[in-house]
Amino acid sequence: MTFKYSICHPEKENIEYRNTSISGNEVLEIAKNYPWIEKLNLSDSLNQEDIHYSPSLDFTCIKNGKSFCLTANYDKNNNLEFSLWYNRPKKVKFLFGLLGEKEKMVVDDIWSISFDKSLKYLEHFVNGNYLLIEEIYKK
Alpha-carbon distance of 80 to 83, in angstroms, equals 11
The whole-angstrom distance between residue 107's C-alpha and the CA centroid of its chain comes to 10
Domain extents in the chain: 2-138
71: amino acid identity, one letter: T
Task: Give percent of the chain above pLDDT 70.
Answer: 94
CA distance 81 to 15: 21
pLDDT at res. 139 = 59
pLDDT of residue 102: 76
Per-residue pLDDT of the chain (139 residues; tens, 9 = 90+): 999 999 999 999 999 999 999 999 999 999 999 999 999 999 999 998 999 999 999 999 999 999 999 999 999 999 999 999 999 877 777 666 666 777 777 888 899 999 999 999 999 999 999 999 988 877 5
